[in-house]
DNA sequence: TTAGGGTTAG
C-alpha cells in the first residue's frame, strides 16, 4: 500500500510524541501527543493516553474530547473522560461537567447524564438546560418538562435556550396550555425579538392546531430566517391548507429568501395534495433557477408532484435525468406508474430496482389493490412473504384489502392471527381494515365481535365500516340500531349518512330514510352535493319523487352526477316528461350531459313512447356532444323502437349497428316482430340469434311453431 | 458552553 506524505508525517509525529512516554513527561508533550491522535481520528487511543496520566489536563482539551465523544457516539470514552476529570481535577468547572452531561445525552445514555446532574456539587443554568435538552432529544419530552418545572421551583431563571428546548418538547407532546404559559414568560423576560424562539412558537402553535396563532407569531417576527419560513410552510401543509403553504412559499421567494431544500419539498407536497400543476411547475422553475434539481429531497418531491398531478411523463423525465437514483426516487416513480393504473410498467421498474424496502413492496402491492387486480395482488403477497421479512401496518392493511377483494375470509383469519401475534391489534388502520374485511366477506358476526374487541381504539371510520357491512348485506334495521349506538361514542360524518341513505334506498325503507334526513337537519349537518344525491336517490327509490325534487332544487350547485341521479329517479318513477324538462333546465344551467344522462333521456323516451325524440337525442349524442354511444344506449334504442312498433326503423337500426347484435338484442327484436307480425324480419332475427346462441334454439323453434300454427 | 425547523417514496 502506498504511504502518502500525510501518513508519513503522522508516523514521525507519533514517534516524536511517544518517545518521551518512558520518561517523566511534561504535560505539554502528552497533550501534544493526544492532539496528534485526535487529528488522525484515533479518539480511543487519545483517551487511553489521557487516562494513563494522573494529572489534570487543560480544560480546553477535555472540552474538545467531550465534543468528539458526542460526534462519534463514544460512550466508553466519555465515561473514561468524566472519570479522569472528576478524579484528577480538584475543582472541575461546571461548564465541563455540563459538556459531560451533553455528551451522555447525545450518546443516548440518560442514566449517566442524570446521575452526573444529580451529583454535581454545583450547577448553573447551563446544567439544567443541557439536562432538559438531553431528555428532549431522546424522546423523553415529559421528563424534560418535569425538569423545567423543577428548575422553576428551585428559583433558577430560565433563559432563551431553556425556552427553545422546552417549546420543542411542548410541540412533541402537544402541550398547548404550557406553551401559552411559556409564551407569556418569553415576552415577560424580554426575549420577544429572538428569532429562534419566534420560530419555536410558530412551530408549537402550528403543531397544536392553532394555526391562526402560529401565523400571528410568524407575522410578528421582525427578521424571519429560512427556518422560520420553513416552519410556517410546513405547518400549513400539515393542517391540510396546501393553498396557504404554497402562497407562503412564493411570498418567501418574493422577499428574496433562499428556501431550504425541505421548504421546496413542503411546497411541492402541498401542490401534490391539491393537484396544483401550475404552481408545481412554477416551483419546478424556481428549483431549476436555484440549482436545487440535484437535491435528493427536492427531486423526489418533484417526481411525486408530477405523479399526483397526472403528468407521469414529466415525472419520468426527472427520474431519468437524475445523476444518482436512490431508493426513494425509485420508489416514487415506480409508485407513480402503479397508482396511475400502469401496473405492468410499475412492475418492470420494481423488478429493476437496485434495492427495495417495505415501502417499495407496499407501493407495488397498493397499485394492484387500487386497480382491483386481485390475482396479481395475491401472487405478489406470496412473493413478498418469500422474499422479505419486512411487514408493517400498511402491508397488513393491503393484504386485508386483498382478502376482502377475493372474499377469502379464511386467509383473512390467518392475517388476523398474524396481527394478534405481532402486536398490530392496537393499530387503528389495521383494526379498521380487519373490520372491513370481515364485513365485505359477509361474516357479520366476526365483524361485530372484532368491532367490540377494538373498544378503546375504534373511531368514526370503524363505526362507518360496521354500518356499511350491515347495510351492504341487507341488514338495514341492524345498521340503524348501530347508528343509534354510535351517537353515544362518535360523531357521525357524511360517509355515515351516505351509507345509511343508500341502505334505506336499497331496502325502500322510507321511514328510516326520513329519520336520517331529519337527524341531519336537526344537527346542522351541511347537505352537500353528495348527500343531496343520496337523499334524492333514497326518496326516488321510495317513490317520493316530490321530496326528491325539492331537495334537488334547493341545492346551491348541481353537478352532472346529481342531475343524473334526479333524472334516473324520475325514470324509475315513470316520469318521462319531467326528465325531458330537467334536461332543458340542465342545459340552461350550463351543465354538460354525459353518457349516463343520455341513457336517462332514452329511458324517458321509452316511458313516453317518444320514438322520434329518442332518435333525435341518440343522434345528437355523438353529433353535438361527442359522446360515443355505448351498449346501453343501443339497447335503449332497440327497446324504444320495439315498444313503439317502429319496425322499419328498428330493422334499419339493428342492421347498421357498428358491432354484432347481442343475444339479448336479437331476442328483444324477435319478440317485437312477433308482436307486430313482422315475419320476414322476425325470421332474420331468429336466424341471427340461433347462430349466436344455439343452446336456446329449441325455444325459438317452439315460438316459431306456435306462430305458424296460429 | 447549553436552543428552533426539515427526512422527499406506500
A578 with A693, same domain?
A: no
Domain presence at residue A17:
yes
> For residue A707, is pLDDT > 80?
no
**pLDDT (0 to 100) of residue A507:** 84
Residue range A322-349: mean pLDDT, rounded: 93
Name the pLDDT band for A5 (thresholds 50, 70, 90).
Answer: very low
Q: What is the dihedral of CA A459, A465, A471, A476, to 10 degrees?
A: -20
- Which bases of chain B are contacted by protein, using any atom under 7 A from a CB? 1-10
Residues of A from 546 to 605 whose C-beta is within 7 A of strand B: which are they?
none
Residue range A587-609: mean pLDDT, rounded: 94
A674 with A633, same domain?
A: no
Domain presence at residue A450:
no
**pLDDT (0 to 100) of residue A405:** 93
Distance from residue A98's CA to nucleotide B1's C1', rounded to whole Å: 8
A1 with A117, same domain?
A: yes
**pLDDT (0 to 100) of residue A28:** 83
Q: Residue A401 CB closer than 7 angstroms to strand B?
A: no
Distance from residue A200's CA to nucleotide B4's C1', rounded to whole Å: 5
Question: Which residues have C-beta within 8 Å of that of residue A577, sequence separation ≥ 6?
Answer: A604, A608
Q: Residue A129 CB closer than 7 angstroms to strand B?
A: yes
A567 with A658, same domain?
A: no
Last residue of a domain, one of A122, A137, A163: A122
* Cβ pair A493, A464 in contact under 8 A: yes
Domain presence at residue A113:
yes
DSSP letter string over A390-446?
A: ---HHHHHHHHHHHHHTT-HHHHHHHHHHHHHTT-TT-HHHHHHHHHHHHHTT-HHH
Average pLDDT score, chain A: 90
Domain presence at residue A525:
no
Domain presence at residue A206:
no
A671 with A631, same domain?
A: no
* Structural domain boundaries, residue A659: 651-710
> pLDDT higher for A1 or A578?
A578
- Residue with grid cell 343501443, as numbered in its chain: A634
Domain presence at residue A700:
yes
Last residue of a domain, one of A629, A644, A659: A644
- Give the pLDDT confidence of A201-210 residue by residue, as tens digits: 999 999 999 9
**pLDDT (0 to 100) of residue A6:** 31
Residue range A4-13: mean pLDDT, rounded: 33
Q: Which residue is nearest to nucleotide B6 (CA to C1')?
A: A262
**Cβ burial, residue A521 (10 Å; 0-12/13-18/19+):** exposed
Q: How far is CA A574 from CA A378, A569, A604, A611, A654, in A?
A: 45, 9, 8, 16, 26
Residue range A336-343: mean pLDDT, rounded: 93
**pLDDT (0 to 100) of residue A25:** 64
A629 with A692, same domain?
A: no
* Cβ pair A377, A345 in contact under 8 A: no
Identify nearest nucleotide to residue A102 by CA to C1′ distance: B2
Last residue of a domain, one of A82, A103, A122: A122
- Give the pLDDT confidence of A624-667 residue by residue, as tens digits: 999 999 999 999 999 999 999 999 999 999 999 999 999 999 99
Name the pLDDT band for A14 (thresholds 50, 70, 90).
Answer: very low
- Give the pLDDT confidence of A121-145 residue by residue, as tens digits: 999 999 999 999 999 999 999 999 9
Name the pLDDT band for A19 (thresholds 50, 70, 90).
Answer: very low
**pLDDT (0 to 100) of residue A653:** 96
A682 with A630, same domain?
A: no
User: How many domains would you assign to chain A?
Assistant: 3
Identify nearest nucleotide to residue A362 by CA to C1′ distance: B10
**pLDDT (0 to 100) of residue A27:** 80
Identify nearest nucleotide to residue A327 by CA to C1′ distance: B9
- Give the pLDDT confidence of A464-485 residue by residue, as tens digits: 999 999 988 888 888 988 998 9
Domain presence at residue A381:
no
- Give the pLDDT confidence of A422-444 residue by residue, as tens digits: 999 989 999 999 999 999 999 99
A70 with A25, same domain?
A: yes
The domain spanning residue A63 has which CATH number? 1.25.40
A633 with A590, same domain?
A: yes
Residues of A from 228 to 247 whose C-beta is within 7 A of strand B: which are they?
228, 230-231, 234
Domain presence at residue A530:
no
Distance from residue A259's CA to nucleotide B6's C1', rounded to whole Å: 11
**Cβ burial, residue A85 (10 Å; 0-12/13-18/19+):** buried
Q: Residue A283 CB closer than 7 angstroms to strand B?
A: no
Residues of A from 88 to 127 whose C-beta is within 7 A of strand B: which are they?
95, 98-99, 102, 125-126
- Residue with grid cell 354500518, as numbered in its chain: A467
A60 with A4, same domain?
A: yes
Q: Residue A357 CB closer than 7 angstroms to strand B?
A: yes
- Give the pLDDT confidence of A81-120 residue by residue, as tens digits: 999 999 998 889 999 999 999 999 999 999 999 999 999 9
**pLDDT (0 to 100) of residue A710:** 31
* Cβ pair A603, A619 in contact under 8 A: no
> For residue A15, is pLDDT > 50?
no
Identify nearest nucleotide to residue A125 by CA to C1′ distance: B2
Q: How far is CA A16 from CA A20, A32, A36, in A?
A: 8, 10, 11
- Burial track A412-437 (b if 16+ CB lie within 10 A, e otherwise): bbebbeebeeeebbebeebbbbbbbb
Residue range A153-179: mean pLDDT, rounded: 95
A605 with A655, same domain?
A: no
Distance from residue A301's CA to nucleotide B9's C1', rounded to whole Å: 9
> Rounded to whole angstroms, how far apart are CA atoms A279 and A276?
6
- Percent of chain A past pLDDT 70, that is, above it, reads 95
Identify nearest nucleotide to residue A203 by CA to C1′ distance: B5
A25 with A89, same domain?
A: yes
**pLDDT (0 to 100) of residue A51:** 84
Distance from residue A159's CA to nucleotide B1's C1', rounded to whole Å: 14
**pLDDT (0 to 100) of residue A17:** 40
**pLDDT (0 to 100) of residue A476:** 83
* Short-list A255, A249, A288, A299, CA closest to A271: A249
Name the pLDDT band for A699 (thresholds 50, 70, 90).
Answer: low
Q: Residue A322 CB closer than 7 angstroms to strand B?
A: no
**pLDDT (0 to 100) of residue A705:** 41
> Rounded to whole angstroms, how far apart are CA atoms A97 and A175?
31
> For residue A57, is pLDDT > 60?
yes
Distance from residue A258's CA to nucleotide B5's C1', rounded to whole Å: 15
Least confident of A3-17, A282-296, A328-342, A476-490: A3-17
Amino acid at each position: 500500500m502506498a504511504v502518502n506524505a500525510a501518513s508519513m508525517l503522522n508516523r514521525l509525529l507519533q514517534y516524536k510524541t511517544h518517545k518521551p512516554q518512558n520518561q517523566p513527561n511534561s504535560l505539554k508533550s502528552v497533550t501534544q501527543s493526544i492532539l496528534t491522535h485526535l487529528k488522525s481520528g484515533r479518539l480511543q487511543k487519545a483517551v487511553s493516553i489521557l487516562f494513563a496520566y494522573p494529572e489534570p489536563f487543560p480544560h480546553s482539551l477535555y472540552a474538545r474530547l467531550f465534543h468528539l465523544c458526542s460526534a462519534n457516539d463514544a460512550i466508553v470514552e466519555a465515561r473514561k473522560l468524566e472519570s479522569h476529570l472528576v478524579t484528577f481535577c480538584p475543582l472541575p468547572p461546571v461548564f465541563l461537567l455540563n459538556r459531560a452531561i451533553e455528551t451522555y445525552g447525545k450518546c443516548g445514555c440518560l442514566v449517566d447524564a442524570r446521575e452526573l446532574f444529580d451529583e454535581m456539587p454545583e450547577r448553573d443554568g447551563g446544567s439544567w438546560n443541557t439536562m432538559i435538552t438531553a431528555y428532549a432529544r431522546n424522546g423523553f419530552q415529559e421528563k424534560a418538562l418535569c425538569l423545567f418545572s423543577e428548575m422553576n421551583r428551585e428559583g433558577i431563571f430560565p433563559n432563551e435556550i431553556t425556552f427553545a428546548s422546552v417549546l420543542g418538547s411542548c410541540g412533541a407532546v402537544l402541550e398547548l396550555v404550557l406553551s401559552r404559559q411559556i409564551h407569556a414568560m418569553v415576552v415577560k423576560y424580554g426575549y420577544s425579538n429572538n428569532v429562534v424562539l419566534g420560530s419555536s412558537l410558530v412551530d408549537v402553535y402550528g403543531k397544536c392546531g392553532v394555526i391562526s396563532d402560529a401565523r400571528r407569531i410568524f407575522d410578528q417576527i421582525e427578521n424571519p430566517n429560512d427556518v422560520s419560513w420553513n416552519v410556517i410552510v410546513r405547518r400549513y401543509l400539515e393542517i391540510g391548507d396546501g393553498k396557504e403553504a404554497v402562497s407562503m412559499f412564493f411570498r418567501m421567494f418574493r422577499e428574496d429568501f433562499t428556501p431550504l431544500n425541505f421548504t421546496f419539498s413542503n411546497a411541492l407536497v402541498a401542490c401534490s395534495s391539491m393537484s396544483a400543476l401550475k404552481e408545481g411547475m412554477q416551483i419546478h422553475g424556481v428549483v431549476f433557477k436555484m440549482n436545487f434539481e440535484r437535491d435528493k429531497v427536492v427531486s423526489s418531491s418533484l417526481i411525486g408532484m408530477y405523479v399526483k398531478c397526472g403528468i407521469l411523463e414529466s415525472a419520468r423525465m426527472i427520474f431519468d435525468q437524475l445523476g444518482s437514483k436512490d431508493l426513494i426516487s425509485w420508489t416514487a416513480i415506480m409508485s407513480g406508474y402503479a397508482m396511475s393504473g400502469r401496473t405492468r410498467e410499475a412492475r418492470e421498474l420494481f423488478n429493476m430496482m437496485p434495492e427495495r424496502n417495505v415501502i417499495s413492496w407496499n407501493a407495488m402491492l397498493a397499485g394492484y389493490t387500487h386497480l382491483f387486480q386481485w390475482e396479481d395482488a395475491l401472487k405478489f403477497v406470496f412473493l413478498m412473504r418469500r422474499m422479505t421479512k419486512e411487514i408493517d401496518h400498511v402491508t397488513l392493511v393491503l393484504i386485508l384489502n386483498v382478502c376482502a377483494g377475493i372474499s377469502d375470509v379464511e386467509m383473512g383469519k390467518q392475517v388476523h392471527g398474524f396481527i394478534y401475534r405481532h402486536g398490530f391489534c392496537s393499530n387503528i388502520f389495521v383494526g379498521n381494515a380487519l373490520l372491513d374485511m370481515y364485513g365485505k366477506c359477509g361474516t357479520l358476526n366476526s365483524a361485530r365481535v372484532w368491532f367490540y374487541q377494538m373498544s378503546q381504539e375504534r373511531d368514526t371510520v370503524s363505526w362507518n365500516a360496521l354500518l356499511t357491512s350491515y347495510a351492504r348485506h341487507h341488514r338495514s334495521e341492524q345498521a340503524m340500531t348501530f347508528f343509534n349506538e354510535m351517537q353515544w361514542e362518535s360523531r357521525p360524518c357524511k360517509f355515515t349518512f351516505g351509507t345509511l341513505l343508500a341502505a334505506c334506498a336499497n331496502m325502500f325503507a322510507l321511514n328510516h330514510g326520513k329519520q336520517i334526513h331529519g337527524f341531519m337537519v336537526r344537527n346542522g349537518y351541511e347537505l352537500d352535493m353528495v348527500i343531496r344525491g343520496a337523499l334524492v336517490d333514497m326518496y326516488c327509490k321510495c317513490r317520493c319523487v316530490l321530496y326528491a325534487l325539492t331537495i334537488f332544487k334547493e341545492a346551491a350547485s348541481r353537478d352532472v352526477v346529481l342531475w343524473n341521479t334526479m333524472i334516473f329517479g324520475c325514470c324509475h318513477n315513470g316520469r318521462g316528461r319531467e326528465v325531458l324538462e330537467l334536461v332543458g333546465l340542465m342545459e340552461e344551467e350550463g351543465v354538460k350531459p354525459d353518457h349516463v344522462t343520455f341513457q336517462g333521456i332514452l329511458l324517458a323516451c321509452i316511458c313516453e313512447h317518444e320514438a322520434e325524440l329518442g332518435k333525435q337525442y341518440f343522434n345528437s349524442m355523438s353529433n353535438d356532444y361527442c359522446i360515443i354511444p355505448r351498449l346501453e344506449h343501443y339497447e335503449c334504442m332497440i327497446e324504444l323502437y320495439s315498444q313503439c312498433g317502429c319496425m322499419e326503423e328498428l330493422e334499419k337500426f339493428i342492421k347498421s349497428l357498428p358491432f354484432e347484435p347481442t343475444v339479448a338484442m336479437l331476442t328483444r327484436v324477435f319478440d317485437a316482430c312477433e308482436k307486430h307480425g313482422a315475419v320476414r324480419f322476425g325470421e332474420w332475427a331468429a336466424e341471427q340469434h340461433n347462430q349466436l346462441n344455439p343452446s336456446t334454439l329449441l325455444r325459438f323453434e317452439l315460438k316459431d311453431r306456435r306462430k305458424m300454427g296460429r
